[in-house]
Structure 1
Amino acid sequence: MSTRCLIVDDSARFLEAARALLEHDGIRVVGVASTGGEALARIAELAPDIVLLDLDLGGESGLDLAPALARASPSAVIVLTSAHPLEDVKELVAAAPVRGFLHKSRLSGQALRDLLGPGQGSPEH
């Protein structure tokens, strides 16, 4: 069974690149969203296993959106992503209802599977 992923990012280029990369790595991208409203609609409609959520959604904050997504789909694992280093946002990530953090440059199907796996809840550096 393949992992079903929803990607939430305001960059069309990143959405396209991330979808291609993850699908190549065996992660099924079931949908994408570029705003909080779209993300909430898609998570309810698609019931993904994992949500890859950008920290900075243009005028919105992924950190502010994470609790609403967690309430909308309690079984979905939320992973924050950003081009910013984890050190810059470590405390914010630790306080959010998410499984971890993945720097955009380290995105891969294996990295997401590692975060999904048992005992793999610590944020990546």
Structure 2
Amino acid sequence: MRKRILIADDTAFFREMLRNILKQSDYEIVGEATTGEQAVKMYEEKKPDLVILDINMPVMNGIDALTEIMTAHPDANVIMCSDQKQEPMIVIALKRGAKDFVIKPFLSTDVYHAIDKVFGKD
């Protein structure tokens, strides 16, 4: 069965980049959120196997969205993404339940490595 992934990033360029990376594999993209609030709502609706969640987003940032998702669904799989300057926030995200992180701009190998780690293929 194909793993279902929700992409949450406010930047269209990075959503497209992730879409293109994931298209090369057997993953199904079940939705794309542009705010943390949308990510939480879409998680509830879609129940994806994995969320790739940006730290910096409007309305509700990725850390707060992660906290809401993990509080309601402690078994959720979330990979955070951010740029290099956000390393302290990545540490907070990992403490709040994120399974891994990738640094922007993404390399497809980094994205696949993080996904494989989450799904126990690493």
| TM-score, normalisation: structure 2 | 0.81
Alpha-carbon shift at residue 85 of structure 1 (Å): 5.6
How many Å separate the matches in 2 of 1:81 and 1:33?
Answer: 14
Q: Confirm whether residue 71 of structure 1 aligns to residue 71 of structure 2.
A: yes
SS at match of 2:79: strand
Out of 85-94 and 98-107, give the one that drifted further.
Answer: 85-94
Is the Cα–Cα contact under 8 Å of residues 85 and 103 in structure 1 kept in the other structure? Answer: no
SS at match of 2:84: coil
Alpha-carbon shift at residue 95 of structure 1 (Å): 1.8
Distance 1:20 1:61, change over 3 A: same
- Match of residue 123 from structure 1: none
Aligned residue identity for 1:40: V
Structure 1 runs of 4+ off > 4 angstroms? Answer: 85-88
Aligned residue identity for 2:42: R
How many Å separate the matches in 2 of 1:119 and 1:17?
Answer: 23
Is the Cα–Cα contact under 8 Å of residues 86 and 101 in structure 1 kept in the other structure? Answer: no
Aligned residues: 120
Is the Cα–Cα contact under 8 Å of residues 56 and 62 in structure 2 kept in the other structure? Answer: yes
CA RMSD of aligned residues (A): 2.4
